[in-house]
Structure 1
Amino acid sequence: MNVMLHLGLGSFHRAHQAVYLHELQKTGDRSWTLAGGNIRPDMADTIAALQVQGGAYTLETISPAGEHHYERITSISKVIPFTPDLAGLIEQGASRETQIISFTVTEAGYYLDAKNRLDLDTFADLRADLEAARAGQPGATIYGALTAILQARRAAEAGAVTLLNCDNLRHNGDRSRSGLLQFIELTGDTELLAWIQTNTTSPNAMVDRITPRPTPDVRERVKAATGADDPAALMGESFIQWVIEDNFIAGRPAWETVGVEMVKSVDAFEEAKIRLLNATHSCIAWAGTLINYQYIHEGTQNPVIRRLAYDYVTDDVIPVLDTPENPCPLNLAKYRDTVLDRFANAAIQDTNQRVAMDGFSKMPGFIAPTIRQRLARKESIDSVAMLPALFLAYLQRWHAGKIHYTYQDQAMDPAVAHAMCEAADPVAAFCADTLLWGEMAGDPRLVEGVRRASERVVRFITAHTGVRPERA
């Protein structure tokens, strides 16, 4: 039996990668199975429930038409409990039967700056992991965990293994591999560094399925529909997509037989998804929060917010992704409309809180590239500038303590964010931040574009709430 070890048994993995392997097993191909666990002590109740249930759980999917479907997913055969020394994950990763190590840690969990260098100055947990690795101990970041696992695998002479990134990170295989190699180089372990370069590959991949955090309602609906009381039940939309660069050093499941697109390059799919879906998703979450909506579908169904998202894609994204010199293989207008229809699905109950998180990673990753390309072409950024303007207004609301939920952002330095909001000119301070904008920081065209957009955001908030924000 071949094993795919997954680090991060969160909702997305269980609604996406685990589902594809489940579908493959249903065809009679049971040559691969999943093992998984977390590298941090989170989701303890869910992990415990999965252990009791032998890794099985119920997935509810809901279509835009409101059709509910329930299925028991059984592809995870081994749930590894968390321990601070990561002993179970290390043992499984060092086993010869493990031929793929995959991971989902969110975009901010890779600690990369605008130049794809490890940002040790900003992140104390990354520095702590580096010190732990130098002492031969595992850590709580993806790099610390992978280093410990791969050290054990090399020592066990267990052979080559593929490292598969399943996050919304542009060029996710290349960039996470670069971060890992930088991390190991800093530990001074030159033998491990050479082993990884020879014995691993890191395919780029694009993943897509809206998967909200499970609520008690999901468990109740699953019980009513199936009779099973499943504390590990979760829900996702009916849409699902996975595009992977076919670059596996130690074999892989026959995913292409169950709908996975195995390709030479994921670049076009990745750019379309990040800019048309991920950036639009964040835009709607920030805008919705500013007028006191709780859910993504509420914002998408608001004609003003939907138009902001539509114009961003139509005016500024499609023209730079589909050009005569470099035509896009996807129908981007159709993709845009499909994305907005998915976001409008009221049954998903996806929260603005979930989607709005990690803006300090999403701004440089999802939004800045479009602004950079538009400016390079000496074209207007009026539509795309609405996204940073909305995020700035959102930050100002957070700064004032008026966000009605907890905002989570691994890449944000709260002191820096508060200082932006307290500046005499918040727009200029925001646009001068190098973490957000890289070499564009302080560009007068960026500042002016965001300033004009911020004025529109003030009018938007005032029109919808009857209250003019103090600053924007």
Structure 2
Amino acid sequence: MASQSEESVLSQMLTDKSKCSSMKVHKPSYDRTKLKHGIVHLSVGAFHRAHLAYYMDLLASEQNEINWGIVGVGIRMFDKPISDALQSQKGLYTLVSKGGNESDVDVRIIGSMIDYLFAPDSPEAVLDVLSHPDTKIASLTITESGYDLDINNAEIQHDLKNPQQPKTVFGFIVHALNRRKNAGIEPFTVMSCDNVQANGEVTKKCILSFVKALNNQDLLTYIQSKVTFPSAMVDRITPATTDSDRDYVLTKCGITDKWPVVTEPFVQWVIEDNFCNGRPPLEHLSSYNVLLTEHVEAYECMKMRLLNASHSSMCYLGYLMGYRYIHEIILDQDVKQYIEYLMNDEVSSTLPPVPGIDLELYKKTLITRFSNPNIKDTALRVCMDGASKFPKFLNPTIDQQLKSNQPKIHFSSLAIGAWIRYITGVDEENNPITLQDPLADQLNLKDIANNTKPNVKEILNINQVFGDLGKNEKFVKSVQDVVNLLYEKGSKATLKQWLNMYKSQ
């Protein structure tokens, strides 16, 4: 049984018990007061609560695993609203998965997050919990752009000089590991849950760069020899929470929840079995698409080049066409055909073999997932951080194709051209586009793109985004042709002409 305070909070959330019963709301079946904080998760967002926290809730519910409760940590000031919500609900929240049909709904109150800390208010408390012997894993979701570590960044510089009051994820992790080293406590595993190729190695590189800047050789040796950074492929399309989601949870499910999460039924986690201080018994979750492996790379490659690249590619063009939701974009038959051509004719041949995966079925499943009208995923959400996403998601396909005997870059060029048109910050009706891309701001891409005459070659020569791709004349010309068409004819006519050009080849 839960404690009185736990029962009180849960009872307050279950506003209409008759609706909860009719919707078959799953509630925590375990005693949350007995959960230990085996995991500290840095930067809690919707995806974490639909993925890792969901999986740990399953382990507690179905396997009575009590050692893998989660302490969530909000890092940035903009995390304050979710911090207030989760703290007032003692970490409880509603997870709703919606399939393509109205009847395909699953409602679950997640109890695996047993505490939540807001780092700007209490950095010492965050360091304390990270340094606690019960903490076996420090996990993080900081988005793709979060790994573009700039050691000269003001907050990173602050963290290098203020080990008691860090502000960044990397500052908290490194200073907590230093405390553990000095106290003779085994280190924790550092586990990225972001869509980044070889995310374990990328995270390790960021951590080591930070430590080298500290000029602490003992700590560097300690981390290099004792800390592990497993790579993982994570997958679940999860939009940001809206007021409509809160209203749905209240009126349809009978639950008052300040920050629920609405997601799709599909979920997957392929993770490298490389933990330095114990791990959850993830093998018990194989029926929920969890796979422990020594070789994550092929799965990462498949997912990023097919799902993530397609997601971004269709959203820039779709937004220019006037669509605002993912399902609206993919239900446009021209866009659907474009994405199918991109996946089948350009991406698939660049993929390594993926054990146990039917690639044709996987691609068809992606189209079905994109078409789900019930999770209301926005194009703007997917359009975020394009300057950080393309190097990881689409550029590797372009690079491999350009190195082949018969390079196919027709639809990859369309994706890049649409992004260049999008980052001018003005749509085809001359309405402003809200750009959310720190790297684009840092590189001044909006001014370079210029909404009257984009300098395509100059943009493609930005090494930080495109590497050496801008040196390939075939690629530059193809992207320039797309951009010219977008300005001359608009996005819908450009897409039709681009499809017709391909079919006539």
Q: Residue in 1 aligned with 2:115?
A: 78
- Distance (Å, rounded) in 1 between the aligned partners of 2:473 and 2:397: 16
Residue pairs, 1:37-52, within 5 angstroms: 37-52=73-88
Q: Deviations over 1:30-77 (max 9, x none)?
A: 232111111212232221121121111111110122312211000011
| Pick aligned residue for 1:151 from 178, 193, 199 | 178
Give the paired residue count: 453
Q: Is the 8 A contact 2:486 2:494 kept in 1?
A: no
1:5 and 2:28 matched? no
- Distance (Å, rounded) in 1 between the aligned partners of 2:121 and 2:418: 39
Q: Equivalent residue of 1:253, what SS?
A: coil
Q: Deviations over 1:180-220 (max 9, x none)?
A: 10111012111211111122100000111111111111111
Write the letter of the residue equivalent to 2:58: E
Over 3 Å counting, the alpha-carbon distance change for 1:245 and 1:293 in structure 2 is same
1:280 and 2:324 matched? no
Over 3 Å counting, the alpha-carbon distance change for 1:465 and 1:427 in structure 2 is closer
Q: Residue in 2 aligned with 1:54?
A: 90
Q: Is the 8 A contact 1:21 1:75 kept in 2?
A: yes
Write the letter of the residue equivalent to 1:184: V
Q: Is the 8 A contact 1:60 1:236 kept in 2?
A: yes
Q: Residue in 2 aligned with 1:381?
A: 409
Q: Equivalent residue of 2:424, what SS?
A: helix
Q: Equivalent residue of 1:140, what SS?
A: coil
Displacement of 1:397 after TM fit? 4.2
Residue pairs, 1:154-303, within 5 angstroms: 154-258=181-285, 259=288, 260-303=290-333
Q: Residue in 2 aligned with 1:391?
A: 419
Q: Equivalent residue of 1:226, what SS?
A: coil
Q: Residue in 2 aligned with 1:441?
A: 470
- Distance (Å, rounded) in 2 between the aligned partners of 1:26 and 1:430: 51
- Distance (Å, rounded) in 2 between the aligned partners of 1:131 and 1:399: 39
Q: Residue in 2 aligned with 1:469?
A: none
Task: Tell me how large the CA RMSD over aligned residues is.
Answer: 2.3
Residue pairs, 1:319-468, within 5 angstroms: 319-322=349-352, 329-378=356-405, 379-398=407-426, 402=430, 404-413=432-441, 416-422=444-450, 426-455=455-484, 457=486, 459=489, 461=491, 463=493
Over 3 Å counting, the alpha-carbon distance change for 1:456 and 1:401 in structure 2 is closer
Write the letter of the residue equivalent to 2:327: H
Q: Is the 8 A contact 2:327 2:372 kept in 1?
A: yes
Q: Equivalent residue of 1:164, what SS?
A: strand
- Distance (Å, rounded) in 2 between the aligned partners of 1:399 and 1:91: 48
Q: Residue in 2 aligned with 1:114?
A: none
Q: Equivalent residue of 1:154, what SS?
A: helix
Over 3 Å counting, the alpha-carbon distance change for 1:278 and 1:286 in structure 2 is same
Over 3 Å counting, the alpha-carbon distance change for 1:151 and 1:401 in structure 2 is farther
Q: Is the 8 A contact 1:85 1:137 kept in 2?
A: no
Q: Is the 8 A contact 1:420 1:426 kept in 2?
A: yes
Over 3 Å counting, the alpha-carbon distance change for 1:348 and 1:75 in structure 2 is same
1:93 and 2:123 matched? no
Residue pairs, 1:125-140, within 5 angstroms: 126-140=153-167
- Distance (Å, rounded) in 1 between the aligned partners of 2:391 and 2:400: 13
Q: Deviations over 1:127-179 (max 9, x none)?
A: 44134313435443322222222222223322121000000011000111011
Displacement of 1:415 after TM fit? 6.0
Give the structure with higher Rg (CA): 2
- Distance (Å, rounded) in 2 between the aligned partners of 1:179 and 1:391: 28
Residue pairs, 1:111-130, within 5 angstroms: 111=148, 118-120=149-151, 126-130=153-157
Over 3 Å counting, the alpha-carbon distance change for 1:413 and 1:74 in structure 2 is same
Write the letter of the residue equivalent to 1:53: Q
Q: Is the 8 A contact 1:130 1:144 kept in 2?
A: no
Displacement of 1:400 after TM fit? 9.3
- Distance (Å, rounded) in 2 between the aligned partners of 1:148 and 1:231: 33
Tell which deviates more after alignment, 190-199 or 277-286. 190-199
Q: Equivalent residue of 2:479, what SS?
A: helix
- Distance (Å, rounded) in 2 between the aligned partners of 1:187 and 1:383: 45
Q: Equivalent residue of 2:230, what SS?
A: coil
Displacement of 1:420 after TM fit? 2.1
Q: Deviations over 1:245-268 (max 9, x none)?
A: 000111111122123111111111
Q: Is the 8 A contact 1:35 1:79 kept in 2?
A: yes
Write the letter of the residue equivalent to 2:435: Y
1:20 and 2:55 matched? yes
Over 3 Å counting, the alpha-carbon distance change for 1:405 and 1:72 in structure 2 is farther
Q: Equivalent residue of 1:105, what SS?
A: coil
Tell which deviates more after alignment, 189-198 or 230-239. 189-198
Over 3 Å counting, the alpha-carbon distance change for 1:182 and 1:343 in structure 2 is same
- Distance (Å, rounded) in 2 between the aligned partners of 1:462 and 1:287: 9
- Distance (Å, rounded) in 2 between the aligned partners of 1:340 and 1:102: 30
Instruction: Compute the TM-score of the two structures, normalised by the length of structure 2.
Output: 0.85
Q: Equivalent residue of 1:163, what SS?
A: strand
Q: Deviations over 1:341-392 (max 9, x none)?
A: 1011111100111110001101111111000000111312112211111111
Over 3 Å counting, the alpha-carbon distance change for 1:85 and 1:186 in structure 2 is farther
Q: Equivalent residue of 1:201, what SS?
A: coil
Q: Residue in 2 aligned with 1:64?
A: 100
Tell which deviates more after alignment, 140-149 or 268-277. 140-149
- Distance (Å, rounded) in 2 between the aligned partners of 1:305 and 1:465: 8
Q: Deviations over 1:431-450 (max 9, x none)?
A: 11111111223321220221
Instruction: Compute the TM-score of the two structures, normalised by the length of structure 1.
Output: 0.90
Q: Is the 8 A contact 1:109 1:410 kept in 2?
A: no
- Distance (Å, rounded) in 2 between the aligned partners of 1:270 and 1:232: 30
Q: Is the 8 A contact 1:110 1:142 kept in 2?
A: no
Q: Is the 8 A contact 1:285 1:352 kept in 2?
A: yes
